Structures are given as C-alpha cells and as structure tokens.
Structure 1
Amino acid sequence: MPVLPGAEPFVHDGSEDIGVLLCHGFTSTPQSMRAWCEHLAAEGYTVRCPLLPGHGTRWPDLNRTTWLDWYHAAEAELAELRDRCRLVFVFGQSMGGTLTLRLAQRHPEIAGIVLVNPSVMTLRKTARLLPLLSRVWPAVGGIPGDIAKPGGFELAYDRLPLRAMASLQQLWGIVRGDLGRVRQPLLLFRSTVDHIVEPVNSAIVLDGVASVDLTEVVLADSFHVATLDHDAQAVFAGSVEFLQRIHRERAEEVV
C-alpha cells in the first residue's frame, strides 16, 4: 500500500562523528518525530527515523506484522549508522522507547539513549484478555493525538490493531526482563499527564536499568506525544545537550 503523505521516513546525512536513530510509536509514523529529526539535522548530526513495518498505510497492515518486524527494521538502521558514524545514539517515543531499550540491551556499543514516555506494560485490566481478544476482533478504537497543545496533530491510525498489540505486549515482557542489561547513559522525559502510557512505566524503567548516568525530566505541559506538544523544544534541546555531553566525555576518555 502507498505510504500516507507525511509518514515518510526521515533521512539526513550529516556528521560522521555522531549518528542518531529515532523510533516512533505504535500506530504512529515518523511525522510525530519529524520536528525532532529536523532539530538534530540542523545541529549537524546524521539522522535516521524509519517508517516501521505495518505503519503509515492502513491499520490492517499492522496486524500482519509483529514486534520482530519493527525491531529488525530499527536494528538495520542502527547497523547502517554504526558503519557511518563513530558514536551512535538511539531515541524513542512510546513503543519507540520500548524498541530503543531492546536495542540498548542487545547492542552495548550504543553511546546513549533518550526515551520519551516509554512503554513497558499497562495497568489496563483488558490487557490480560488481549491474546484471546486479538483472535476475535481485528481492532478497536484507537487514541491518536494525545496532545495538550491546541491544534496538535499526530499522523496515526485511529484504530488499534489487536494482533499487533498482542505482539507489543510480548515485547514489553522481554524488555522488562532484560532491563538490567541497559547500561548506557539514559535521559528519560516523562509527561505528568499521559492518557496512553501510565507513569508507572517510566518508574519501572528507571528502577530496572543498570545505567549509572541516569536522568529523568518531567514535562508539565504535555500529554503523551510530547514531541508534538508544548514541551517539544525542551525535549529537543535537552537531547542535544545530552549528545554533546556524552560526546565530550568520550573525547576526554580518549585523551
């Protein structure tokens, strides 16, 4: 199926010193990350934000994929960046944060990670029934565009594909079980009000990772899709400061 206008991947070739891979959320597209990508590109970094399989076309396409498809697509982009750049960072929002954590668990060479409202579980009681429900109903109503900013728009499916959601639930369990393998410097942005991902998700991540360099920033004026919300510039600027600091510290280690 043709890709929806605005859902295209983001690619920018900049510095050979620093590369950044960005991962978008479940049912979403690179549109939700584009302003962040453009900010990083303007700083001179090499940037990649792929359109994950099953996204950006029609919601039934997402039900034909699993978390392994999304992960392998992100991992392929990571490999390309590693061949091009000396230091590679991974940023992710929501499910993109889940994928970022999994990449960090399996690729210790990643220089650092930035998470925005990452998901690793849900408190919703219906989640226990998801493996069964996904065999009966293909999708239920989705909640795209959880944005506090007036006029904020997220290009995402308005349906929640249940078979794909059940696969994401499997990924959550794997990532939670391996949180102790995450040792990279980690910067986590969390919205105080999030109608999609409960705050306990960030708490589980912060408590479970083995990272020594660990920072949490609370976003008081944004909902779930913070990269399109009032605090977007704070996320963008904070991530650049994080990149610059890690880069500087790595350079000092070499000297």
Structure 2
Amino acid sequence: MIGCLFVHGFTSNPKEVNELVKHLEDKSWMVYCPELPGHDGTKESLKQFSYKHWVYKTEVALEELLKRCDTVYVIGFSMGGVIAGYLAAKYPVTKLVLISSAVYYLNPKQIAQDATGWFMEGIRGELEENELYHFYLDKVKRTPVSATIEFAKLVRKLRHALDDIDVPTLIVQGESDGLVPPKSADYIYSHIQSEDKQIFYFPNAKHYIWFGEEKQELIDKIDEFLDSTTARKERDVDDEDRTTETVYH
C-alpha cells in the first residue's frame, strides 16, 4: 500500500490543502494530513504550542504510516515543507514534494506589488471583493507574535536537514509568491543531495498555487513525479540510526 503524509503550513490547517489531499485519496492511497497543534484557527490556541510540538505531531503520523505502508511519500507546503524536508532526512520515505517551502520567507518586491494593487483597489472601492486580501488579513489577525517567533525558530533549526536528503524530490515554487521568495526553492535545490531532484516554477502563481489558474498544472506535475517509477529507498540496517537522530541544535 502507498501512504502519503501531507504537512500543511504555518497558521494553515488541513482544510486549506483539502483539494490536494482529496486528489491523492482518490488514488486509493492512505493519506494523512494532521492538524498541527494550535492550528485550529484561534489566536489563543496558537500561543500554547512551540515548533517542537508541530514537528512531533508529524513524526508520530509518519511513523504510523511507515508501519502500515510499503511506500510512503511526504508532501509539505510552506512551513510544512521545512518539516517535510526534516522528515525525509530522518526517516526512510520514498519521495518528497515541497510546495512553496519556507526556507526563506517574505518577498519584499512581491509584497510591494500586491500592496500597491490592493491600494488601487481600495481607491476604486473594489477591495472588499478581493478574497485573497481578506484571506491574508484574517491570517495576520489570528497570528500571535509568539507563534511567529516559533516559526522562525523552526526554519532556523531544521533548515540544515536539507543537506541530508537523498530521496527523489520535487520542488515547486510560485514566482509571484509574496510570502516565500523564489530564492527559497533555489536554496533547497542546491542543498538537497539526491541525484533525482526536480525544480519547477509557476511564473504567475502566488503562495497557495492551487488557489490560482495553475491548479491543474500543479496537480499534474505532482502526479507525474509521484506516479513515475523510481527505485524505492531501502529500509536497511541504518533505519534505527536515522529514526533516533536529532537535528535540534
């Protein structure tokens, strides 16, 4: 059986990636997208947890999938991509997909362009109709400073795990992403040690690529990568060492 762990992003939740998860479930795979601790949509809840709680939740989920499935893929979105990379370096997963992964975060140039556009829409009285603007505004309102600090800690502590990834990896990035700049994807690609790695850019896509016109192309790209035949990474005698290694320095 094929299993797939999908790790959602910071201040996100499984509902926001449900369309991609449902697509994978339709393949008759065992797909799990756990809600990270504190990510129930409330500001107070998010204050109660650290990045270690987020990582631990995904480790428990992945270990369960590895017990049940012969082949396990890991997909990570945004902050979830950083966690997914850490998991792929530590556990015997088969393939890794990283979507808008936040090794670097905030793209000032794109943010300025988006802000200018929103300003002009405000002048024309059209801003209330902009769903993306309200989507991000709501996230900002629900994000405590303490959680943002934990997010930064997570990136700093886990980023170096990229150097230990040697499984087939697909990196996907929107070039118009205001939250994660393209250099994040470049950094990931240059540090991953796998001989089978691909990087794909969507020129007009923002952070949530599947919310835009490129949705089907994104799904096709993921399908092409995951459904292709590659040698499965063997779970050999090194497994015990890999699963007990820590990257918290």
TM-score if structure 1 supplies the norm length? Answer: 0.76
2:46 matched to 1:62? yes
Contact in 2 for aligned 1:32/1:154 (Cα 8 Å): no
For residues 222-246 of structure 1, the C-alpha deviation after alignment (integer angstroms, 9 at most, x for no partner) is 210113222222222221221211x
Contact in 2 for aligned 1:222/1:229 (Cα 8 Å): yes
Contact in 1 for aligned 2:13/2:39 (Cα 8 Å): yes
2:237 aligned partner: none
Contact in 2 for aligned 1:120/1:175 (Cα 8 Å): no
Contact in 2 for aligned 1:20/1:48 (Cα 8 Å): yes
Amino acid at match of 1:249: T
Contact in 2 for aligned 1:116/1:189 (Cα 8 Å): yes
How far has the Cα of 1:123 moved from its partner?
6.2
Contact in 1 for aligned 2:85/2:161 (Cα 8 Å): no
2:190 matched to 1:207? yes
Amino acid at match of 2:87: L
- Equivalents in 2 of 1:122, 1:163: separation in Å? 17
For residues 46-96 of structure 1, the C-alpha deviation after alignment (integer angstroms, 9 at most, x for no partner) is 111111110023122112111111111111111111111100010011011
For residues 115-171 of structure 1, the C-alpha deviation after alignment (integer angstroms, 9 at most, x for no partner) is 11101134689xxxxxxxxxxxxxxxxxxxxxxxx7568697343322122122122
Amino acid at match of 2:213: H
Question: Structure 1 249/122 Cα, relative in aligned 2: closer, same or farther at 3 Å?
Answer: closer
SS in 2 for 1:55: coil
2:148 matched to 1:165? yes
> For 2:159, which of 169, 172, 176 is the aligned residue?
176
How far has the Cα of 1:221 moved from its partner?
3.0
Contact in 1 for aligned 2:39/2:46 (Cα 8 Å): yes
2:75 matched to 1:94? no
Contact in 2 for aligned 1:31/1:154 (Cα 8 Å): no
Larger Rg: 2
SS in 2 for 1:250: coil
The count of corresponding residues between Structure 1 and Structure 2 is 209
Bigger proportion of residues as helix: 2
Amino acid at match of 1:31: K
- Equivalents in 2 of 1:123, 1:20: separation in Å? 28
- Equivalents in 1 of 2:180, 2:160: separation in Å? 19
Contact in 1 for aligned 2:89/2:164 (Cα 8 Å): yes
Question: Structure 1 162/90 Cα, relative in aligned 2: closer, same or farther at 3 Å?
Answer: same
Question: Structure 1 44/231 Cα, relative in aligned 2: closer, same or farther at 3 Å?
Answer: same
Q: State, as a whole percentage, how many aligned pairs show the same letter.
A: 27
- Equivalents in 1 of 2:203, 2:22: separation in Å? 24
Amino acid at match of 1:182: I
Contact in 2 for aligned 1:59/1:157 (Cα 8 Å): no
1:49 aligned partner: 33
Contact in 2 for aligned 1:32/1:228 (Cα 8 Å): no
Contact in 1 for aligned 2:175/2:182 (Cα 8 Å): yes
User: Pairwise CA RMSD of aligned residues?
Assistant: 2.2
SS in 2 for 1:180: helix
1:185 aligned partner: 168
2:6 matched to 1:22? yes
2:181 aligned partner: 198
How far has the Cα of 1:182 moved from its partner?
0.9
Stretches of structure 1 lacking an aligned partner (at least 5 in a row): 1-16, 126-149
Contact in 2 for aligned 1:102/1:175 (Cα 8 Å): yes
2:103 matched to 1:120? yes
Amino acid at match of 2:40: G
Amino acid at match of 1:60: E
Contact in 1 for aligned 2:175/2:181 (Cα 8 Å): no
SS in 2 for 1:92: strand
